[in-house]
C-alpha cells in the first residue's frame, strides 16, 4: 500500500459501490428470503386462483345438484375404488350436491377479502391509536383506557347491535353481500385492534425518546409529520407481526360469525364456514374439513413468512447486511 | 507490509498472538475481520492497541478469549499461545475446546468491555454478577465469595462497597459501573487483563481514575494488560508498548515513546496528527483548522468572527419536575440549568464544557426551546425566543439548528438521506421536489459528501459521513446559530478532526455561530472563541478561550484541566486523581438557590464567586 | 326394585337453568323439573290423558266436569307424599294455581290457567276449578308437565314478586315425583336421587340421575350413540345421514315420535319493504305487492319438493305434510296435494297470473314488480340447507330469493326494537316450526284471527304472523270455542286448517317434524312421549344388559 | 411503586364505571329478548307479564343504577357477612349482619344471584383454562428459547411452522377432531367433562386428569403458539446484548449464560404478556368449554348472551373488565418488579 493509501484511509470510509434503486433493493432482499418467496408465491397463487378461478371453473358454487351429493374428491379413487367420484366435481360435492371446487374458490374469495380488509382496518385503527397514545402523553391515559374498554366489550352483543343498526342501510346501498361484507369487516376490525395499539404504543414510547425524533422537532417538523414520517416506518416490524396474526384471526372470526348467524347469507360460502359446516361429517368426508382447513393454514403461514421477509426487506439496516 | 517484531523477548510472554486470522461469515460471504496479526504481551506490561473504529482491535481481543465464535466469527488461522504459568508449556487457545476455554476465561484471562452501560446484566445485583465467576472458578461458598467481592470493590475504590453489592447496575454511575466491570475481570486474579476501550464512554474525570486504577493493578500484581483504545491521550498515559492496527492488520508496533516521537508508519503519523492536544493552541485567540497529514493543506487561517452579539442568554433556568405521590404532583425538581447567562457573537463559537450531567445539553436545548426553560431570556437577533408562540417558534427554528452527539441516533434509520436533509426544506419552504433535490445536492457538496450518497440510508455510512449529513441537514435552512451538542464526541479522532475542520470552514465562510457543547477539553480548545465551564447547572467560569485555558481560576476548572490525559508519554501524571462525586441536582420544591455572582478576573473573563457546590 | 340400577345419565344440549316449572323459560327446564314435580294428570304417548296425582280424569261422563262446562272437579289420590314425607293435599293444588296466576310472578305457563275464575279445595282431597266461561276443553290447569303441583309449605313465601328471591326453593323444589334434587348447578348439571317417599315402592329403578346440560346436538348424540358415556340424549336433531352414521357404532339407538310440530313457511301478506316508513312496514296498511295473490303463493308451494326436504333434513324424524295441524290424527286434515313437486305447474300458474320473465333475467315480473323475495329463518344447519334447496327451486320457476338467517335468540325473541324478530316479519317469507301443547288445536288456530297480527300498537306482539284476515275464518273460530262435541270440533279444526293451507297457501307447511332423541342400548323402559315431558315415565326406566 | 399502584387503582374506578355504563348501554341497544327461549306456544300477554316480572319495564338508567347499587353495595355486604361468619380467615370476628335481604343481582334465566353462579363456575374454568395456560407457558417458553438460541435451525423452522399452523386452526375443528380420535375411535378419554367430579384420591385424580387432557391440549395449542413467538423474539433480542458476552467472559457454561442471564431478561416482556393474558383465563374459552361441556365461565357467558340474560352478561362483562384493568396494572407493576431499571414514581 502506498503512503497516500494509508492516509487517504483517514477520510471517511463507507461502502462505495453505487447505490441501487430502493425498490430493487427491497426486492433483492426479499428474494433472498426463501420462506418469504414461498409464502408470497402461495399468496399470489391463491389470490389468482380465487380471482380467475371462476373463469376457468365455471360451476356455480350455489347450484345444488342433489343427485350428485356427497361425491368424494377425485383422488379418493386412488385408494378406494368403490368411492363415488366424478370428474364433473374433482373436489367432490357437499351434502346438498354443491361443487366443492367452486365453493373453495368462492369461499376463498370471501375469506381472503374479509381477512385482508379486516386486518388492514384493525391495523390502521390500532396503529393510529398506538402512535397517538405513545406520542402525546396527555392522550395516553384516555386512549389506553379506551383500549381497556374495547377489550372488555362483549363481542356478540356488539355484533348484534351493529347488524341491527346498519344492516338495512348497508344492504340498501351495497346489496346483501356487499353490505354484510362491510359490516363484518368493520366489526372484526373494530374489535381486534387493541393488541396492535398496545404494542405500537410501547414501541413509540421508546422511539420518541430517540434522538432523531428530537432532531426532527428541532428542524421544525410538525407532530403530525413526525408521527407519519419518523415514527411509523420504525414501528413497521411489530405491525407486521400483528398483521400476520390479524389475518388468521380475521378469517377465523368470520367463520365464527357465520356460525352465529350474523355473517354472510347462509348460501354464501367462506372457508371458515365450510370448515365449520363440515365438522359434523368429518369422519366420513375428511376432505371437506381438510380442504378449507389447509387453505386457511397455508394462507396464514404464507402471510407469516411473507411478513418476515417483507420486514427484513423494508428495514434498510437488514437489507444491506 | 511493515513488520516490527516484538522487542521484549527476554521473558516468556503471557500471551502471544501469532498470525491471527479471523473470518466472519456474513450474508455477503466470508469477510476477514483480522488479517495476520501478531504481537505478544509480557507480564507486568501494558500493550496498547490503537486504531480506527473497525480496525480489528476488539476482534483480536475477543479471539484471545475465544469469544469471537459467539459473534459469528471463526479463527481461521494463526496461533494464540497463552502461558498458564507453573512453567508449563503455553497452550494454543485457538485449538482448545470451549469447555477448556471456560476454565481459562474469567479465571486466567479477564476482560473489561467497551460499554460499561451494557456490559452488566441489568436485572442482577452487583453481588450476584461479581461472585458468579468466583463461585465457579474458585469454588467459593456464598459467604466467602461475598467477602472476596467486597475486597475487590475496595480494590477498585468504589465508595460504600457494602451498599453497592445489593444495588443494580443502573443504580450506579457510569464510572462505578466500569469499575465493577473491572472488579469482575480481576476477580480471579487473571494473568492477562484485556481492557477493550474501558474509558471511551466516560468523563475525563472518571477516565483518569480508571486509568490510574488499571495502572496500579499492573504494577502491583504484575498482570499483563492488553489495552485497546483509539484515544492517543490515553495511550500516552498508559502504554508500555503500542500496536497500531489498520483495517484488520497490524501496521506498526513499538515502545510508546518511539511511536509518539518517531512513528515509522504514515498511518500512525496521520493518526497522531489528528489528535487535538491540549495546549496546542496556547497563545492564540482564534480557532485554527487542524493540519492533517495527507490531506490537501487546509487554510490555516484563524477564524475570527465578529463582535456583534447574535445570541444573548440571561438568567436561563431550566428545571425538570420530579413527580410523586398519589396524584403525581411535583414533589421536587431537578435543577438542570440554573441561572446561566452568556453572549455569543456572530461568526464565533462559545463552548460549554463540564462533566456528564452538569446540564450542558439541557442548556443547549433550552436555548432552542426543545425543552421549556422556567425563566430567563434568550434573545436571538434581538427577538426573544422564550416569548414566542408555537408558530413563531417554528419559524425561528429555521434560524437556529442543532447537531446531536450521536450521528446514528439522530438520523432516522428508515429514511434515505436525501429525505432527511430535505426535511427542513419541506417544513419551511415551498420548494418543488426537483428544486429540493438540487438544494440537497448542493449541501452534500458543501459538506464534501458524494452526491451518490443521497439515496443511501444512515447505516450505510461511516460515523464521520453520518455526522456530515447531520451538518448538512442543519445547514439546509442557512441558520445563523448551530447548537452542536457533543457533535464530534462519538467520532474517531481522524474523522473528528475532519468534521471539526469542516465546521470551522463553514463558520469562516457562512459566518455561523456555534454553541459548542463538549466534555473533551482538547477539542474545545481547538474550536472555541469563548468557553463556559459548567458545574451542577451553573456556569462557574466563562471567558475567552485563551484566558480560561491558560489561566483557569475556578477550582473546578483547574481540576477538569488536570484530568485530561495528555497525548504525550513524557508528560505522564503520577498522582492518583481524586474527585468529589457531583452532588445531586435534585432539590425539593421551593428551593431557590441564590443568584450566580461573578467576578471579572480579566477582560471578559468571569469566575463565579457565589457557592457553586464544588 | 328401587335404586337397584345405579345411575342413569341424561344429556340435554340445552342446560336447565331453573327447576321451578312455573318460572322456567323453556322446555329443557320443564323436562328437568318433571323428574320431581308432577301434575294431576298428563298425556301418555298416545295423547290420552292419564291420571297421575288424581284418582281419575274428570269428564262430563263421570261428572267431574259440570254440564255447563264451567267447573271441573279433581279428586286427589290420598297416598301421595311429598319427598319430605308430608302428605300432599288439596291446599297444595290450590296454591299451585295461585302461584302461577299471581300477576307479578311472571309465570311462564300462565296460559294453562286462562279463564280460571277460582280454585277451591272442597276437602282435603278434592279440588274444584271454576272457569269464568264455559270451557269445552278444561284440561289446562294441573295437566301436563307445564302445570305441576308445587308444595305450598315450601313456596308459601314465594308468591308473586317474591318468587325470584326464592333461589333455594326454585333450585330444589320438593315434589312428588320419583326423584329429588340433590345438587343443582344452573345451566350445568343436576343430580337427582331416588325419592324415598315415592308412591310406588319398587320405583324408580335408578338410584341417581345425572342430568348434564350444555354442548350441542352433535356432541349429545355422540355421547350416547358413539362413546356410550351417556344413556339418554334429548332432541338430537341432526342431519339424518350424520345420525345414521353415529348409530352404526352400536352403542345406542335413535328414537323418534311425532307431535304437533310443523316446519312451515309463512307468507307475509303485508309489505315489508324497507322503503316504507318505520311503523308501517309489514302492517296491514300496506298489502304485499304480490304475495297477496293466491296463484303466486300456490306456485311457490308447488315448487317445493317436501319429500326431498324431509329426506335431507330429518330422515326418520320427519314426514312431508300439507297441514298446519298435522297431529293428533283426529284433527289432521287429509291434504296430500302439495306433496308432489310440480315445477311445470307452478310455472304455468305464474304465467297464467300474468307473471312473465319479459326481460330474460330469469326473474318474472308483472307491472314493474319483480318476483324477488327475502327469505328469513333462524340460524340452524338444517334450516340453512332447506333455504338453499328452496331458493334453488324457486329460481327454477323464476323467483329470485335472498336468504337471510338470524340468530335464534333474536329471531324468536320479542324485542320490539329489533327488526329481525319473526313477529315483525321484515321479510317476504320466513320459515320456522311451531306446535301446540296438549292435543287440542283451538288456541293454536285462534292465532290467525283477524286483529291478532303483530303491529306497532301492540309492541309487535301478536300471533297472526301472516297478517291473515278472513271473516269466515273468525266466525268458524267462534263456533269452535262454543263446541264441545269432539267430532264437530275436529271437523271445524280441519276446515280452519285448510283455509290457512290448502285453500290459500298463506301458510306453506313443509315437514311434520318428530322428536328425535338418542338412547343407550342398555336403557330400558324408555317411551318417547311428545305430548308431555320426554322424561315422563323415568320412574319406569331400567338398566338392561346391552 | 406502591403509590403508583394505588394511584392506578384509584384511576381504575371511574374507568370501570364508564366501561360498565358503555357495556350496559350496548346491551340495551342489542336486539334480543330474555324470553326468546320461551316456547312459541306461550301467548304474548303471558310474555308481557313475564317481562314485567323481570323488571324489564323500567327505564334503562334506573335499571343501570339498580345494578350498580346491587353490585357495589349489596354484594360486598354479603361478602363481609360471609367472611365474618364462615371464612377461616376472618371467622373469629363478630358476625356482621350488613345484608338484610334486599334483592341481589339476579340472573333472569335462573332467578338466582349471579355471583353465586359465577363462584360455582370458577373451579372448572380455573382447572381447565388455567391449566391449559400453564401447560402452554411451560411448553412454549423452552421452545421459544431454543428456537432463538438456534435461530434458523431445523428446530426453529419446524417450531415456527407448527406454531403458526396451531394458531390458524380454530378450536371448533381441533376439539371435535380430538374427540373423534380419542373418545370415539380409541375410547381412551371422555368427551364430556364432569364438573361434579371431586378429586379425593389417586383414582379420582386420574379420572380428573383424563377428562382434562383434551380441553387442556386444545387450548394449550393456541397459547403455546403465541407465547413461543414472543419468547423467541425476546430471547433473540437479549442474546445480542453485551452482558451475554460479559457472562461468557466469566467462563460461565452456556446453560447458565442462556438459562439464567438471557432467560431472566427475556422473561421481562414475556411475563407481562402472560399477565395480560390472564383475564382470558377467567373469561373462559367459550368454544372449547362448549365443545367439551366444561360449563365454566365461558359457557355461562355464552348461554347468558343467547338467553339475553342482561344481569348475568353485565356482571360477567364487568368482572372481566375489572380483571383486564387489574391485570394491566399487574403487568405494569410486574414489569417494574422484574426490571430493576423501571421505577414508577
Ligand atoms: N460479528 C461480526 N460479524 C461480521 N463482521 C464483524 C463482526 N464483528 C466484527 N466484524 C468486523 O470485523 C472488523 C473489526 O471489528 P472490531 O470490532 O474488531 O473493530 P474495533 O477496532 O474494535 O472498532 P471499534 O473501535 O469501533 O470498537 C470490522 O470490519 C467489523 O465489521
Ligand atoms: N427530561 C428530563 N427530565 C428530568 N431530568 C432531566 C431531563 N433531562 C435531563 N435531566 C437531568 O438534568 C441534569 C442535566 O442533564 P444534561 O443532559 O443537560 O447533562 P449534560 O451535561 O448534557 O450531560 P452529558 O454530558 O451526560 O450529556 C441531569 O441531572 C439529568 O439527569
Ligand atoms: Mg471495538
Ligand atoms: Mg448531554
Ligand atoms: Ni338445539
Residue of chain D with shortest Cα separation from A237: D233
Report yes or no on D31 lying in a domain.
no
| Per-residue confidence (pLDDT) for residue A4, from 0 to 100 | 46
B580 band by pLDDT with thresholds 50, 70 and 90:
low
Q: Are residues D98 and D129 in the same domain?
A: no
pLDDT average, residue stretch A194-206: 85
Q: How far is D323 from chain C (nearest CA, A)?
A: 24
Measure the CA–CA gap between B457 and B466, rounded to whole angstroms: 10
Residues B425 and B550 in one domain: yes
Residues of D in contact with B187 (CB under 8 A): 250
Instruction: Quote the pTM value.
Output: 0.81
Q: Are residues D233 and D154 in the same domain?
A: yes
Residue-wise pLDDT for A82-111, tens only, equals 777 777 777 888 877 788 888 888 888 888
Instruction: Say if A149 falls within a structural domain.
Output: yes
The pLDDT tens digits of the residues spanning C505-528 come to: 899 999 998 888 888 888 888 888
* CATH code (residue D129): 1.10.3720.10
Domain assignment of residue B383, given as a range: 309-331+344-576
Q: Is residue A263 part of a domain?
A: yes
Of A4, A218, A236, the CB nearest to B370: A218
User: Does B136 contact D251 at a Cβ distance shorter than 8 Å?
Assistant: yes
Whether D289 is in a domain gets the answer yes
Whether the CB of B35 sits within 6 Å of ligand 1: no
CATH number at residue B262: 3.40.50.300
- What is the residue with the minimal CA distance to atom 24 of ligand 2? B356
3-state secondary structure C247-306: HCCCCEEEEEEEEEEEEEEEECCECCCCCCCCCCCCCCCCECCCCCCHHHHHHHHHCCCH
Give the bridge partners for B333, in sequence order: B321, B587
CB of C208 less than 8 A from some CB of D: no
Residue C64, phi then psi, degrees to nearest 5: -65, -30
Based on the domain organization, do B238 and B357 belong to the same domain? Answer: no
Q: How far apart are CA D266 and CA B311, in angstroms?
A: 49
| Nearest CA distance, A28 vs chain B (angstrom) | 13
D61 and D176 assigned to the same domain: no
Q: Which residue of B has its CA nearest to D7?
A: B326
Ligand nearest to the CA of B352: 2
Answer yes or no: do B539 and B494 share one domain. Answer: yes
What is the average pLDDT value for chain B, to the nearest integer? 82
Residue B68 confidence (pLDDT):
83
| D247 & D288 share domain | yes
Number of compact structural domains in chain A: 1
Indicate if B254 and B350 belong to the same structural domain.
Answer: no
Establish if D121 touches chain C: CB-CB under 8 angstroms.
Answer: yes
How many Å lie between the alpha carbon of B465 and the closest alpha carbon of chain A? 6
Residue B284 lies in a domain: no
Q: Specify the number of domains making up chain D.
A: 2
Average the pLDDT over B553-569 and give the result. 82
Q: Which of B101, B119, B326 sits opposite D10 (nearest CB)?
A: B326
Burial tier of B603 (Cβ tally within 10 Å: 0-12, 13-18, 19+): exposed
- Which residue matches cell numbers 352433535? C218
- The gap from C-alpha B510 to its chain's centroid, in whole angstroms, comes to 29
Q: Is C241 exposed, middle or buried (0-12, 13-18, 19+ CB in 10 A)?
A: middle
Partners of C118 in the β-ladder: C130
Listed residues D104, D135, D153: the one ending a domain: D104
The length of chain C is: 546
Domain that holds residue A144: 107-319
d(CA B112, CA C485): 109
ipTM given for this complex: 0.79
Q: Are residues B257 and B367 in the same domain?
A: no
Domain CATH number, residue A147: 1.10.3720.10
Omega of the bond leading into C204 within 30 degrees of 0 (cis): yes
Query: Average per-residue pLDDT in chain C?
Result: 86
Q: Evaluate whether C423 touches D50 at the Cβ level (below 8 Å).
A: no
Domain count, chain B: 2
A176/C392 touch (CB, cutoff 8 Å), yes or no: no
**Residue A9 domain flag:** no
Same domain, yes or no: D48 and D189: no
What number is the average pLDDT over the span B68-87?
81
B405 CB less than 6 Å from ligand 2? no
CB contact under 8 A, D308 and C215: no
Domain match, D241 and D210 both: yes
Say yes or no: D224 and D252 in one domain.
Answer: yes
Same domain, D234 and D94: no
Nearest Cα neighbor of C386 from C246, C216, C245, C239 is C239
**Residue B299 resides in a domain:** no
Residue closest via CA to ligand 1's atom 27 equals B53
- For chain D, say whether A282 makes contact (Cβ under 8 Å): yes
Amino acid at each position: 500500500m502506498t503512503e497516500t493509501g494509508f492516509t487517504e484511509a483517514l477520510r471517511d470510509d463507507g461502502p462505495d459501490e453505487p447505490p441501487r434503486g430502493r425498490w430493487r433493493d427491497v426486492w433483492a432482499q426479499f428474494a433472498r428470503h426463501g420462506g418469504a418467496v414461498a409464502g408470497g408465491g402461495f399468496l399470489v397463487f391463491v389470490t389468482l386462483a380465487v380471482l380467475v378461478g371462476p373463469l376457468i371453473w365455471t360451476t356455480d358454487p350455489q347450484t345444488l345438484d342433489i343427485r350428485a351429493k356427497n361425491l368424494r374428491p377425485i383422488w379418493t379413487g386412488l385408494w378406494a375404488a368403490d368411492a363415488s367420484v366424478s370428474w364433473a366435481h374433482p373436489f367432490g360435492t357437499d351434502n346438498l350436491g354443491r361443487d366443492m371446487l367452486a365453493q373453495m374458490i368462492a369461499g376463498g374469495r370471501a375469506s381472503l377479502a374479509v381477512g385482508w380488509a379486516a386486518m388492514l382496518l384493525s391495523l390502521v385503527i390500532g396503529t393510529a391509536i398506538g402512535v397517538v397514545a405513545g406520542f402525546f402523553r396527555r392522550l395516553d391515559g384516555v386512549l389506553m383506557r379506551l383500549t381497556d374498554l374495547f377489550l372488555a366489550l362483549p363481542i356478540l352483543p356488539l355484533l348484534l347491535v351493529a347488524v341491527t343498526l346498519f344492516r338495512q342501510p348497508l344492504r340498501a346501498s351495497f346489496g346483501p353481500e356487499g353490505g354484510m361484507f362491510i359490516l363484518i369487516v368493520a366489526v372484526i376490525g373494530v374489535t381486534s385492534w387493541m393488541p396492535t395499539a398496545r404494542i405500537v404504543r410501547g414501541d413509540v414510547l421508546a422511539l420518541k425518546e430517540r434522538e432523531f425524533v428530537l432532531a426532527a422537532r428541532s428542524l421544525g417538523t410538525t407532530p403530525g409529520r413526525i408521527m407519519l414520517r419518523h415514527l411509523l416506518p420504525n414501528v413497521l416490524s411489530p405491525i407486521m407481526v400483528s398483521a400476520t396474526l390479524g389475518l388468521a384471526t380475521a378469517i377465523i372470526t368470520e367463520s365464527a360469525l357465520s356460525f352465529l348467524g350474523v355473517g354472510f347469507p347462509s348460501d354464501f360460502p367462506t372457508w371458515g364456514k365450510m370448515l365449520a359446516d363440515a365438522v359434523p361429517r368429518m369422519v366420513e368426508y375428511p376432505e371437506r374439513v381438510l380442504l378449507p382447513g389447509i387453505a386457511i393454514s397455508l394462507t396464514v403461514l404464507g402471510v407469516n413468512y411473507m411478513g418476515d421477509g417483507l420486514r427484513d426487506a423494508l428495514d434498510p439496516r437488514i437489507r444491506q447486511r | 507490509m511493515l513488520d516490527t517484531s516484538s522487542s521484549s523477548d527476554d521473558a516468556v510472554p503471557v500471551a502471544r498472538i501469532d498470525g491471527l486470522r479471523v473470518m466472519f461469515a456474513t450474508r455477503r460471504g466470508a469477510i476477514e475481520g483480522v488479517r495476520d496479526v501478531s504481537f505478544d504481551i509480557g507480564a507486568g506490561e501494558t500493550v496498547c492497541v490503537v486504531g480506527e473504529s473497525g480496525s480489528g482491535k476488539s476482534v483480536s481481543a475477543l479471539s484471545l478469549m475465544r469469544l469471537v465464535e459467539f459473534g459469528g466469527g471463526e479463527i481461521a488461522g494463526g496461533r494464540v499461545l497463552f502461558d498458564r504459568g507453573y512453567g508449563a508449556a503455553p497452550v494454543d487457545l485457538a485449538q482448545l475446546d470451549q469447555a477448556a476455554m471456560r476454565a481459562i476465561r474469567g479465571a486466567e484471562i479477564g476482560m473489561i468491555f467497551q460499554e460499561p452501560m451494557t456490559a452488566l446484566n441489568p436485572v442482577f445485583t452487583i453481588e450476584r454478577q461479581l461472585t458468579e465467576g468466583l463461585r465457579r472458578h474458585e469454588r467459593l461458598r456464598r459467604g466467602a465469595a461475598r467477602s472476596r467481592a467486597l475486597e475487590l470493590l475496595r480494590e477498585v475504590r468504589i465508595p460504600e462497597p457494602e451498599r453497592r453489592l445489593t444495588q443494580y447496575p443502573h443504580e450506579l454511575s457510569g464510572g462505578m459501573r466500569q469499575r465493577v466491570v473491572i472488579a469482575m475481570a480481576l476477580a480471579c486474579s487473571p494473568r492477562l487483563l484485556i481492557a477493550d476501550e474501558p474509558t471511551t464512554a466516560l468523563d475525563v474525570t472518571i477516565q483518569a481514575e480508571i486509568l490510574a486504577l488499571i495502572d496500579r493493578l499492573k504494577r502491583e500484581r504484575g498482570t499483563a494488560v492488553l489495552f485497546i483504545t483509539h484515544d492517543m491521550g490515553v495511550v500516552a498515559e498508559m502504554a508500555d508498548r503500542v500496536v497500531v492496527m489498520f483495517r484488520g492488520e497490524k501496521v506498526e508496533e513499538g515502545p510508546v515513546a518511539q511511536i509518539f516521537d518517531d512513528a515509522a508508519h504514515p498511518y500512525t503519523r496521520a493518526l497522531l496528527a489528528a489528535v487535538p492536544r491540549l495546549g496546542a493552541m496556547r497563545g492564540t485567540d482564534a480557532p485554527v483548522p487542524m493540519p492533517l497529514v495527507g490531506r490537501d493543506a487546509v487554510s490555516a487561517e484563524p477564524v475570527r468572527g465578529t463582535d456583534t452579539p447574535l445570541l444573548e442568554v440571561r438568567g436561563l433556568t431550566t428545571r425538570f419536575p420530579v413527580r410523586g405521590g398519589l396524584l403525581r404532583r411535583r414533589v421536587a425538581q431537578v435543577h438542570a440549568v440554573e441561572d446561566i447567562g452568556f453572549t455569543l457573537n456572530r461568526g464565533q463559537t462559545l463552548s460549554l464544557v463540564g462533566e456528564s450531567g452538569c446540564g450542558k445539553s439541557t442548556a443547549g436545548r433550552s436555548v432552542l426551546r426543545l425543552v421549556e426553560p422556567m425563566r430567563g431570556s434568550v434573545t436571538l437577533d434581538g427577538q426573544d425566543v422564550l416569548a414566542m408562540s408555537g408558530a413563531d417558534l417554528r419559524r425561528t427554528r429555521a434560524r437556529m439548528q442543532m447537531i446531536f452527539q450521536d450521528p446514528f441516533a439522530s438520523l432516522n434509520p428508515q429514511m434515505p438521506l436525501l429525505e432527511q436533509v430535505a426535511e427542513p426544506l419541506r417544513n419551511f419552504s415551498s420548494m418543488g421536489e426537483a428544486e429540493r433535490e438540487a438544494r440537497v445536492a448542493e449541501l452534500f457538496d458543501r459538506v464534501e459528501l458524494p452526491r451518490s450518497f443521497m439515496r443511501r440510508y444512515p447505516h450505510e455510512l461511516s460515523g464521520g459521513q453520518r455526522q456530515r449529513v447531520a451538518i448538512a441537514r442543519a445547514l439546509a435552512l442557512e441558520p445563523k446559530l448551530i447548537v452542536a451538542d457533543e457533535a464530534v464526541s462519538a467520532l474517531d479522532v481522524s474523522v473528528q478532526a475532519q468534521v471539526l475542520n469542516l465546521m470551522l470552514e463553514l463558520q469562516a465562510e457562512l459566518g455561523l455561530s456555534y454553541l459548542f457543547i463538549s466534555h473533551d477539553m482538547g477539542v474545545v480548545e481547538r474550536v472555541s472563541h469563548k468557553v463556559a465551564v459548567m458545574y451542577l447547572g451553573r456556569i462557574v467560569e466563562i471567558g475567552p478561550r485563551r484566558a480560561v485555558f491558560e489561566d483557569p481560576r475556578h477550582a473546578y476548572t483547574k481540576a477538569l484541566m488536570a484530568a485530561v490525559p495528555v497525548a504525550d508519554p513524557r508528560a505522564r501524571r503520577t498522582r492518583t486523581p481524586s474527585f468529589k462525586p457531583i452532588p445531586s441536582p435534585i432539590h425539593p420544591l421551593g428551593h431557590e438557590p441564590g443568584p450566580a455572582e461573578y467576578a471579572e478576573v480579566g477582560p471578559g473573563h468571569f469566575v463565579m464567586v457565589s457557592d457553586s457546590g464544588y | 326394585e328401587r335404586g337397584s340400577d345405579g345411575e342413569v345419565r341424561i344429556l340435554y344440549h340445552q342446560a336447565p337453568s331453573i327447576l321451578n316449572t312455573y318460572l322456567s323459560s323453556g322446555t329443557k327446564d320443564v323436562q328437568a323439573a318433571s323428574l320431581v314435580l308432577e301434575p294431576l294428570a298428563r298425556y301418555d304417548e298416545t295423547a290420552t290423558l292419564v291420571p297421575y296425582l288424581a284418582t281419575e280424569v274428570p269428564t262430563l261422563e263421570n261428572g267431574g266436569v259440570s254440564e255447563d262446562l264451567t267447573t271441573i272437579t279433581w279428586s286427589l289420590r290420598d297416598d301421595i307424599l311429598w319427598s319430605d314425607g308430608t302428605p300432599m293435599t288439596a291446599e297444595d293444588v290450590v296454591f299451585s294455581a295461585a302461584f302461577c296466576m299471581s300477576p307479578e310472578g311472571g309465570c311462564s305457563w300462565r296460559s294453562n290457567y286462562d279463564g280460571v275464575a277460582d280454585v277451591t279445595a272442597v276437602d282435603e282431597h278434592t279440588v274444584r276449578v271454576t272457569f269464568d266461561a264455559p270451557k269445552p276443553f278444561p284440561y289446562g290447569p294441573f295437566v301436563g308437565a307445564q302445570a305441576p303441583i308445587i308444595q305450598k309449605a315450601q313456596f308459601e313465601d314465594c308468591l308473586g314478586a317474591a318468587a325470584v328471591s326464592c333461589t333455594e326453593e326454585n333450585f330444589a323444589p320438593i315434589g312428588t315425583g320419583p326423584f329429588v334434587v340433590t345438587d343443582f348447578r344452573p345451566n350445568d348439571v343436576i343430580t337427582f336421587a331416588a325419592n324415598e317417599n315415592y308412591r310406588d315402592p319398587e320405583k324408580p329403578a335408578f338410584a341417581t340421575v345425572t342430568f348434564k346440560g350444555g354442548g350441542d346436538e352433535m356432541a349429545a348424540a355422540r355421547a350416547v350413540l358413539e362413546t356410550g358415556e351417556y344413556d339418554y340424549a334429548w332432541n338430537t336433531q341432526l342431519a339424518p345421514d350424520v345420525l345414521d352414521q353415529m348409530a352404526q357404532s352400536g352403542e345406542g339407538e335413535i328414537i323418534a315420535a311425532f307431535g304437533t310440530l310443523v316446519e312451515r313457511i309463512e307468507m307475509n301478506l303485508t309489505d315489508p319493504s324497507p322503503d316504507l316508513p318505520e311503523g308501517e312496514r309489514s302492517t296491514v296498511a300496506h298489502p304485499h305487492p304480490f304475495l297477496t295473490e293466491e296463484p303466486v303463493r300456490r306456485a311457490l308451494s308447488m315448487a317445493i319438493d317436501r319429500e326431498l326436504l324431509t329426506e335431507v333434513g330429518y330422515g326418520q324424524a320427519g314426514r312431508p305434510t300439507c297441514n298446519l295441524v298435522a297431529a293428533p290424527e283426529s284433527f289432521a286434515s287429509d291434504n296430500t296435494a302439495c306433496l308432489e313437486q310440480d315445477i311445470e305447474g307452478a310455472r304455468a300458474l305464474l304465467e297464467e297470473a300474468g307473471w312473465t320473465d319479459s326481460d330474460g333475467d330469469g326473474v318474472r315480473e308483472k307491472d314493474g314488480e319483480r318476483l324477488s323475495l327475502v327469505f328469513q329463518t333462524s340460524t340452524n344447519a338444517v334450516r340453512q340447507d332447506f333455504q338453499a334447496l328452496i331458493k334453488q327451486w324457486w329460481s327454477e320457476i323464476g323467483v329470485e330469493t335472498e336468504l337471510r338467517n338470524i340468530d335464534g335468540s333474536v329471531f324468536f325473541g320479542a324485542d320490539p326494537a329489533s327488526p329481525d324478530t319473526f313477529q315483525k316479519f321484515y321479510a317476504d317469507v320466513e320459515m320456522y316450526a311451531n306446535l301446540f301443547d296438549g292435543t287440542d288445536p283451538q288456541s293454536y288456530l285462534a292465532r290467525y284471527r283477524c286483529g291478532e297480527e303483530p303491529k306497532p300498537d301492540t309492541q309487535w306482539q301478536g300471533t297472526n304472523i301472516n297478517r291473515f284476515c278472513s271473516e269466515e275464518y273468525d266466525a268458524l273460530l267462534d263456533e269452535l270455542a262454543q263446541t264441545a262435541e269432539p267430532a264437530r270440533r275436529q271437523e271445524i279444526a280441519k276446515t280452519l286448517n285448510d283455509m290457512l293451507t290448502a285453500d290459500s297457501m298463506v301458510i306453506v307447511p313443509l315437514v311434520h317434524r318428530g322428536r328425535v332423541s338418542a338412547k343407550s342400548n342398555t336403557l330400558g323402559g324408555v317411551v318417547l312421549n311428545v305430548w308431555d315431558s320426554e322424561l315422563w315415565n323415568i320412574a319406569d326406566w331400567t338398566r338392561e344388559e346391552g | 411503586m406502591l403509590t403508583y399502584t394505588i394511584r392506578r387503582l384509584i384511576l381504575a374506578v371511574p374507568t370501570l364505571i364508564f366501561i360498565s355504563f358503555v357495556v350496559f348501554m350496548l346491551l340495551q341497544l342489542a336486539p334480543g329478548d330474555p324470553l326468546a327461549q320461551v316456547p312459541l306456544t306461550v301467548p304474548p300477554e303471558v310474555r308481557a307479564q313475564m317481562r314485567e316480572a323481570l323488571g324489564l319495564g323500567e327505564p334503562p338508567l334506573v335499571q343501570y343504577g339498580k345494578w350498580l347499587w346491587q353490585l357495589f353495595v349489596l354484594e360486598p355486604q354479603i361478602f363481609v357477612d360471609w367472611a365474618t361468619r364462615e371464612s377461616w380467615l376472618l371467622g373469629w370476628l363478630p358476625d356482621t349482619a350488613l345484608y338484610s335481604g334486599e334483592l341481589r343481582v339476579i340472573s333472569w334465566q335462573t332467578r338466582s344471584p349471579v355471583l353465586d353462579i359465577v363462584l360455582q363456575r370458577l373451579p372448572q374454568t380455573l382447572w381447565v383454562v388455567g391449566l391449559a395456560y400453564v401447560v402452554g407457558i411451560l411448553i412454549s417458553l423452552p421452545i421459544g428459547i431454543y428456537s432463538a438460541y438456534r435461530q434458523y435451525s431445523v428446530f426453529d423452522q419446524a417450531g415456527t411452522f407448527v406454531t403458526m399452523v396451531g394458531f390458524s386452526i380454530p378450536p371448533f375443528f381441533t376439539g371435535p377432531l380430538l374427540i373423534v380420535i380419542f373418545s370415539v375411535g380409541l375410547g381412551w378419554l371422555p368427551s364430556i367433562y364432569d364438573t361434579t367430579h371431586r378429586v379425593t384420591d389417586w383414582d379420582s385424580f386420574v379420572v380428573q386428569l383424563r377428562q382434562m387432557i383434551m380441553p387442556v391440549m386444545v387450548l394449550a395449542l393456541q397459547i403455546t403458539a403465541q407465547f413461543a413467538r414472543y419468547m423467541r423474539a425476546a430471547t433473540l433480542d437479549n442474546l445480542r446484548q453485551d452482558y451475554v458476552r460479559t457472562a461468557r467472559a466469566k467462563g460461565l457454561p452456556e446453560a447458565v449464560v442462556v438459562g439464567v442471564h438471557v432467560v431472566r431478561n427475556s422473561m421481562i416482556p414475556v411475563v407481562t404478556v402472560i399477565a395480560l393474558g390472564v383475564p382470558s383465563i377467567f373469561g373462559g374459552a367459550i368454544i372449547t368449554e362448549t365443545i367439551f361441556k366444561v360449563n365454566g365461565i365461558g359457557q355461562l357467558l355464552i348461554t347468558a348472551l343467547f338467553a339475553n340474560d342482561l344481569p348475568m352478561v353485565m356482571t360477567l362483562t364487568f368482572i372481566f373488565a375489572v380483571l383486564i384493568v387489574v391485570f394491566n396494572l399487574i403487568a405494569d407493576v410486574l414489569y417494574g418488579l422484574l426490571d430493576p431499571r423501571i421505577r414508577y414514581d
